[in-house]
Structure 1
Amino acid sequence: MADLSARDIEKVKFAFSIYDFEGNETMDAFYMGECLRALNLNPTIAVLEKLGLAKKKKEKKYKLDEFLPIYAQVKKDKDAGSYEDFVEVLKLYDKDGVGLMMFAELEHILISLGERLEKEEVLPILAAMCDEEDEDGFIPYEPFLKKLCDGVKS
């Protein structure tokens, strides 16, 4: 693949081999998202579905040469957002411009906007990545974003 460096190809081969559970040089399409995330990419569910994510195991298999173009496409996707992009979005909720937002608003954003999460998915994320709320229910949002983005950097 002209789009990928030799190092990228080696990383993909290694990750692909981990998801080759049967040892037959194929990966179940059900695990496509997990494999891409193991390669430090962060595709949305919509992107994965467009690229052929299987809803159930054993519906479809990929060979490495079929998976490499998928990896290349997701890698070059510029629609993932960056730390700076997320800071700008959360500044909209920072009414006083002091780097704080309501904890409840952050929870609401994660549950109801964009690629929605269930409350059961959001609570552990917030518990692990947010500072304690102050007496008025505010948290600093930049440390949350820093922890979140550091977890998905390549």
Structure 2
Amino acid sequence: MAGDLSARDIERATFAFSIYDFEGNGTVDAFYVGDILRGLNLNPTLAVIEKMGGTKKRNEKKLKVEDFLPIFGQVKKDKDVGSYEDFLECMKLYDKAEDGKMLLAELTHILLALGERLTDSEVQEIVKDCVEPEDEDGFTPYVPFLKKLVAGPDVGETPAEEQQEK
């Protein structure tokens, strides 16, 4: 699998791997495989991480960079990840009036019940951060929600700005 990677990919993966080599001995706890992959702009599910050798507990298994590169190559090659357009089409299924809005209760249910399960607190955090307030009928626009969700967390925000918001 590592043969499928460009020299640039190998360099990036090796650098990301080295960040999680806390002991400086050329190994990384398999617990951090998902974090390393996400640091490389991939978005594997927990099931994919576990399938590729990641562990749910610390100190169960150590990986060398030679072990990690094939994992990175496989996950990078895997195209089983939804795009903004895919998610938009799904949301349109819940848009009965075809006006770009859906019931907030349905959106919450989707986040709780479909795909990789989220906890109530995770859903509440997503709703708080990404969903516009619902109208008097309980509807909320889903396009701004999807744009915020796909964009990810605000990278440019400084700790001082975060404190001001709280």
Distance 2:133 2:4 in 1: 44
Identify the residue that residue 23 of structure 2 maps to in structure 1: 22
Identify the residue that residue 14 of structure 2 maps to in structure 1: 13
Distance 2:13 2:94 in 1: 39
Identify the residue that residue 79 of structure 1 maps to in structure 2: 80
Query: TM (normalized to structure 2)?
Result: 0.87
| Structure 2 gap ranges (5+) | 154-166
- Higher mean Cα deviation, 57-66 or 8-17? 8-17
The total of aligned residue pairs comes to 152
SS at match of 1:2: helix
Residue 141, structure 1, aligned to residue 142, structure 2? yes
What aligned pairs does 1:1-150 form with structure 2 within 5 A after superposition?
Answer: 1-150=2-151
SS at match of 2:75: helix
Distance 2:136 2:4 in 1: 51
SS at match of 1:48: helix
Greater than 2 Å deviation, 4+ residue runs = none
> In structure 1, what residue type is equivalent to 2:14?
K
Q: C-alpha deviations, 1:72-127, integer Å up to 9, x for none? A: 11111111110000000111000011110111111111111111101011111111
In the TM superposition, residue 147 of structure 1 has moved relative to its aligned partner by 1.3
> In structure 2, what residue type is equivalent to 1:48?
I
In the TM superposition, residue 2 of structure 1 has moved relative to its aligned partner by 2.8
Distance 2:72 2:118 in 1: 24
Q: What percent of counterpart residues are identical?
A: 64
Distance 1:104 1:14 in 2: 43
Distance 1:140 1:99 in 2: 6
In the TM superposition, residue 26 of structure 1 has moved relative to its aligned partner by 0.8
> In structure 1, what residue type is equivalent to 2:26?
E
| Structure 1 gap ranges (5+) | none
